[in-house]
Amino acid sequence: MNEEKLRKCFSEALNLPADQIVDNLAYQAIKQWDSIAHMALIAALEGEFNVMFDTDEILALSSVAVARELLKKHEVAFP
């Protein structure tokens, strides 16, 4: 299921327990999600979902909810 894959990417890239991966988790709102972790997250999402984000999308990816919407634009299905 794509929702689980999304949460797994965030959990592993940010080194957070899965239960802390919520829609409003935001970039730089927690110390774990700094610029280095952001690029690791981008790489994880691109690899897991076989997509390539452009620069604007990388800069726009500011929360779990936004990541889901960006993936939808790349034709990744979410319930």
Give pLDDT tens digits for 9-49: 999 999 999 999 999 999 989 999 999 999 999 999 999 99
Residue 79 confidence (pLDDT) above 90: no
Q: Which H or E run contains 58?
A: helix 55-60
How many C-beta atoms surround the C-beta of residue 28 within 10 A? 12
Would the CA dihedral through 6, 22, 67, 71 be positive or negative?
A: positive
Give this prediction's pTM. 0.94
